[in-house]
Chains A and B, each alone.
Chain A
């Protein structure tokens, strides 16, 4: 037992020594936890960003002139005035996402109370823009028309007001979420690559075999990689949350950082095991690379980091409940933003521990076959 622990310690120290000489990996770690988070957080676009809009103005009235000025960056590009026959080809080619058609006599009909109508054409193949953009355009046009009318006659105000308050992120700044998701993504990616690539490199150099003829067991070998690489990523992510996210990006962290670090530990147990598991499946570096793309991309995209899990079909949600980072995303949102405690997040912690244990066990079973 004593010797086992010592072996795990020394083999882990060996991993750390090796990593300390691998400048490319170190660079990747530093980059992922600093600059990449910063860029990701700052570059997260608002939901509507420079949407292309064109106006077919057949009215040429002071009111329509106001509308041209009303659409402004960053939400919209300055509107392009086009003639009616140009509208369809431009939308077909995907140049404009929105085209607002104002019939002639709109302003006079409006003032006469004749309830004129205008038409908004939306290229719904760009769903994101179509959805939010239409809302904005409605608001902007209505506001402009109301404002215009107010100078001419009174308008009823609605009796019931809806007061919207967003909790945990009052301004709904997507950068906050972006920063945290990026930390999660970096944790997943680095822990898988660090352990997986290290194991394959050892196999290619023949050092794994060498170790296994010594009084060292496969379990010790795997645990040494799990703790050493896990520690590196844990420290880096701790610093990333403390320095990068909190201080430099100014994202308020509501919950307990130690609890977050504890969850990260369980997550790292699962992902480092996954890294070793993928390495044993792949056997060689090129296959590992292909496998990595097929595994990392779904992990990142479907874990709820990019889009809400509510938007996914049940089957995919079910499959993704077997992935550690689905639980980790829920966990880190709850802890970091909502300040949730252990009483709330224990199911996620349990899930991560279970997934880690299963992966570790599977890997151990495959380990010897992998050495052939």
Chain B
């Protein structure tokens, strides 16, 4: 089933180069990614970039694709300068770019078909054309059966095929693939390359540039660029490179090409064979291990036995269940079924003794980057309960064994990946465990460091009898293991020595053997997912339509972006619900929280007079709805004690002889003690008491002196307008709506853009013909709709739940709300342009929307009373104008005619925010 090499070697170098790079340098802050690269990449060929992680492959590819802005040097692609925005816009329909990472530019909640369809829309294809193209692509990649499955539920290999479909929908002339097969099983890998070969057969003019870490794959390319440390080591055909270095494999050739300093001390690893006594109990034993997460079986009936001192390799694609199996062995996950035994004892998460005998190194780098190398080692030694006096010597020993002495006092973050992996291993080994469980310890590490790492493993196994359970992607590493297991879709397909596995299938390499095993597994129908993945007979593309080269603002593209956003929002109900529930929750919080109506205050009387009149005075206070009378006070000590306990807000003292003195017209003083701990409450109490005192006085005066005496010289009538009962809710609720209608839509919109930045799909804006305005308005519309729903819920809650009367024109209010929500979402877009992490977007938006809205929006102090800068902000910031509209329509019974002055600034702000957002958004990464 294996096809010949994907490239036709003879094509290399013919015609003008497709990409010309001259003196290209690129740096991310302090890190130099590329240092003066000059290259000519041949057209119509399959060009491979080889080298480990962090040598500048991805930077170079993204610069060629136009996803990243060229800062120093020149990049000419398809005959034009990529520094010119005009050229980029012209050629982007001819380039397809698939960034690194499984499905990184795909939308996880969208189905396979929807993903491809979206890309088709971006390139302006009509409905019938898209349908035809999608059908062809799905048939050829063997994915037709999964067209409706969400991208997030695909295996790594399927994701990459889907990514390829999305890249090929517009028939590109230049296909750029960044590590398309990393983390993908061997069969899918092979299918992927077969697919590329088929497509190249049909479109011989298409140039393909691929970055890869697998040298076996690279051996089949037409032309290679070996990279190291941001520099080009060598270029040429694979045979060239082998001949030049006098080596047999590309791995060796690459090492030979490295500068002298980087390969010092390197030698090939060989592990001497070892005889394992049969009678000894196994160190690790798994029996029918299964793990199910909500209906999905991650690990299915896995069994194996690993003998003491054995190096056991675990192979499989990403997501096949390797990591889950390892977690069950370490007790991190409780198996749904089956047992795992270490040293004959069932793994129990609570058994601390077993954990001391095991060392674990997880897939992601899991050391504390804030602790130095020595502190990391020290912490782990202590956690394993090593005696303090043994820790120092042990750290020194580990440091010398693992070559860590020069870096003992450095932070791990500053070290190269290879050394960090060695540190991780040292940490896992610090307590001298008998079993080591290593989850993909060498992925992304350069070949020299990998050999160094395996030399250490060999030493541990053969000389110290440590049992090693290791998972890997690399076939040459698998060959070093005593035995290997191949895992696929949660099942172990085979467990044996590498030689036996190769022999059992009668093939030449381990890779071929695995492909054969995978094929059997799929044919027996155990994994329907990859059924029919073998490319269907090639059929010519249904259309040879060329996407319209450069177009101005396209409503259709904008609509497709809106559609995409709406689908994503709909499929992620947590965000939408949070947005709707959040605004209701916060409305309640603020509506009640900023409430000034204080009732049910506790008070007590110290009545030293005990007359009808003194009781009458106290009754006046007790009778009001503001105060609740408590047991009478007995003296000053009682006041002290009860006030200290916080059970009295007010204490009234009526002096002896109160009634007598009042009758005589002799001045009397009534004492009132107020708890001033909360000054705001105290002032309210003060106001109530003064008012009641005045009423009482007037009544007494009338009784004593007759009506004439109490007649004030004048009256001051107070008319509380708009809110006759002076209710806080009536005042607060209309003011809270503008606050929330600003903060939440702005935050959600900002998050939607920043999410794309964080997840990587923003690259679709960079490399497709999408214009910035289309992208932004497309994103804005669904959130605008959500904001309007938000507004309606808040309105409903205000009127029906809070009972705030609505007196003005509903139409006016709604028109204002729509304008205001447009501004709010526009501000979210503006904020998103200079923020790149979701968490910063959340706090940044809160700060930039809530603060000015609260302080200068006229909620508490009218803008007319603000001074200086605050007044300018208040006048410019849209909240004050919308607040005038909400208060006007809610409480003051106003309509359009009265509020025209508040609409004008909103109408101006709508285009201004959007224009600013467009101007600030970058069409390329830095």
Contacts and interface: CB of A to CB of B under 8 A. Distances in A.
Given A10-B379, A127-B731, A132-B687, A333 B677 contact: yes
A289 B593 contact: no
Given A52-B865, A93-B884, A211-B383, A47 B683 contact: yes
B302 to A, nearest CB: 19
A19 B719 CA distance: 58
B842 A289 contact: yes
A211 B333 CA distance: 14
Contacts of B675: 166-168, 338
Interface string B525-558: 0000000000000000000000000000000000
Interface of A: 3, 6-7, 10-11, 14, 17-18, 21-22, 47, 49-52, 77, 89, 91-97, 106, 110, 113, 115-132, 134-135, 137-138, 141-142, 145-146, 149, 155-156, 158-170, 172-174, 176-177, 205-207, 209-217, 285-290, 292-294, 297-298, 301-302, 304, 306-308, 310-313, 316, 330, 333-334, 337-340, 344, 371-372
A310 B722 contact: no
B713 A113 contact: yes
Contacts of A125: 722-723, 730-731, 734-735, 887, 891-892
A127 B716 contact: no
Contact of A301 (B332, B589, B701, B731): B589
Contact of A3 (B358, B385, B671): B385
A49 B668 CA distance: 34
Contact of A210 (B366, B690, B734): B366
Given A126-B731, A334-B644, A206 B709 contact: no
Interface in B678-729: 678-684, 686-687, 689-690, 693, 697, 700-701, 709, 711-724, 726-728
30 contacts: A17-B371, A77-B865, A116-B714, A121-B721, A124-B726, A125-B891, A126-B862, A130-B720, A131-B684, A131-B687, A141-B716, A156-B709, A160-B697, A160-B700, A162-B669, A162-B670, A164-B686, A164-B690, A165-B674, A166-B676, A167-B675, A206-B362, A213-B355, A213-B360, A217-B350, A289-B838, A298-B586, A307-B593, A307-B596, A333-B646
Given A125-B734, A311-B597, A115 B722 contact: no
B864 A128 contact: no
Given A118-B716, A286-B839, A307-B596, A164 B864 contact: no
B860 A128 contact: yes
Contact of A118 (B362, B385, B662, B714): B714
Given A14-B379, A160-B700, A169-B676, A308 B644 contact: no
Given A168-B676, A169-B677, A213-B355, A94 B862 contact: yes
B713 A302 contact: no
Given A6-B385, A162-B693, A340 B680 contact: no
Given A21-B370, A167-B675, 11 more contacts: A94-B858, A130-B723, A206-B362, A286-B751, A287-B574, A293-B842, A293-B846, A302-B592, A310-B600, A311-B728, A371-B332
B843 interface: yes
A159 B671 CA distance: 14
Nearest to B696: A160
B676 A162 contact: no
Contact of A122 (B327, B668, B721, B837): B721
A287 B697 CA distance: 60
Contact of B674 (A91, A127, A166): A166
Tell which of A167, A172, A287 has the most Cβ of chain B within 10 Å.
Answer: A167
Contact of A124 (B360, B649, B724): B724
Contacts of B884: 93-94
Contacts of B358: 213
A137 B720 CA distance: 14
B678 A308 contact: yes
Interface string B323-335: 0000100111100
Contact of B678 (A97, A134, A177): A177
Given A124-B721, A289-B838, A164 B678 contact: no
B732 interface: yes
Contacts of A330: 646
Contacts of B330: 213
A94 B716 contact: no
A74 to B, nearest CB: 11
A159 B352 CA distance: 82
Given A132-B683, A169-B676, A205 B375 contact: no
A78 to B, nearest CB: 11
Tell which of B665, B687, B731, B837 has the most Cβ of chain A within 10 Å.
Answer: B731
Contacts of B644: 334, 338-340, 344
Contacts of B670: 160-163
Contact of A117 (B588, B661, B715, B838): B715
A68 B41 CA distance: 84
Which 6 pairs across A and B sit closest by C-beta, in order of nearness? A301-B593, A169-B676, A166-B676, A289-B842, A124-B723, A286-B838
A50 B382 CA distance: 63
A14 B378 CA distance: 10
